Chains A and B, each alone.
Chain A
Amino acid sequence: NAGVTQTPKFQVLKTGQSMTLQCAQDMNHEYMSWYRQDPGMGLRLIHYSVGAGITDQGEVPNGYNVSRSTTEDFPLRLLSAAPSQTSVYFCASSAKGGPYEQYFGPGTRLTVT
């Protein structure tokens, strides 16, 4: 099992550009989520999904879109990148939400100039 995979590992964008961060898991987990990690801020939830076709907003959803067409994939789209979106992004999956173990991907380091 590869677990949770994320691509790309690093990305530099100019303000206003759009891009999609990819996330895939091969553990047949229902629950997937996206977090951003900033210095001194911990992990903050952006969006999450409790199953294919179902998504919901987390703590900091503005500027990001998600969709969940399959159990395996949960891409995060930045529609018009802003410098405030410079961060490290982590995708996570779990068998179910909440108290169940979250499996994290290796992260994508995004810089917006």
Chain B
Amino acid sequence: TQLLEQSPQFLSIQEGENLTVYCNSSSVFSSLQWYRQEPGEGPVLLVTVVTGGEVKKLKRLTFQFGDARKDSSLHITAAQPGDTGLYLCAGAQRGGSNYKLTFGKGTLLTVNP
């Protein structure tokens, strides 16, 4: 069973459209991170959300952490070809003295000019 479910798995849209991708779980996380990965490179952190109900904005990207800290969403306004990439969510859970970070399978976004 996948701890973090991301949807949709694939998304192809035209430049200028809006989109939302989701990251859902039945487990509670102490925080949740969103990364973007471009082909041939490692993931790069976009944002970390910590508080239930938290909303963070990064230019045209809006991230929300669910009230129960089990889910998150990423909304992109007026998508551009430069937004193309694999979007990964990662949830942190405390295990003993350390944290465990679990990644979802990702949403592959293609923005066509």
Q: List 14 A-B contacts (CB under 8 A).
A: A42-B106, A43-B90, A43-B103, A50-B98, A90-B42, A92-B42, A97-B99, A97-B101, A98-B92, A99-B31, A99-B33, A99-B99, A106-B41, A107-B40
Residues of B within 8 A of A50 (CB): 98
Q: How many residues of B contact A (CB 8 A)?
A: 27
A78 within 8 A of B: no
Please encode chain A, from 27 to 55, with 1 for each CB lying within 8 Å of some chain B CB and 0 for all others: 00000000100001111110000100000
Asked if B45 contacts A101 (CB within 8 A), the reply is yes
Asked if B100 contacts A42 (CB within 8 A), the reply is no
Asked if A101 contacts B48 (CB within 8 A), the reply is yes
B43 within 8 A of A: yes
Asked if B101 contacts A45 (CB within 8 A), the reply is yes
B75 within 8 A of A: no
Which residues of B approach A to under 8 Å, CB–CB? 9, 30-31, 33, 35, 40-45, 48, 50, 88, 90, 92-94, 98-106
Give Cα distance in the complex from A41 to B98, angstroms.
24
A65 within 8 A of B: no
Number of A-B contacts (CB under 8 A): 61
Q: How large is the interface on A (under 10, 10 to 19, 20 to 34, 35 or more residues)?
A: 20 to 34
Q: Is the interface of B mostly helix, strand, loop or mixed?
A: strand
Give Cα distance in the complex from A40 to B107, angstroms.
10
Asked if B100 contacts A98 (CB within 8 A), the reply is yes
Asked if A107 contacts B106 (CB within 8 A), the reply is no
Residues of A within 8 A of B45 (CB): 101-102
Asked if B48 contacts A98 (CB within 8 A), the reply is no
Q: A98-B92, A99-B92 are in contact. Are A104 and B42 (CB under 8 A)?
A: yes
Give Cα distance in the complex from A90 to B101, angstroms.
15
Interchain CB contact (< 8 A) of B41 among A35, A44, A92, A107: A107
Residues of B within 8 A of A107 (CB): 40-42
Closest approach, in angstroms, between the C-beta of B40 and any C-beta of chain A? 7
Q: A42-B104, A50-B98 are in contact. Are A99 and B30 (CB under 8 A)?
A: yes
Give Cα distance in the complex from A107 to B42, angstroms.
6
Closest approach, in angstroms, between the C-beta of A112 and any C-beta of chain B? 20
Q: Which residue of B lies closest to A38 (CB)?
A: B105
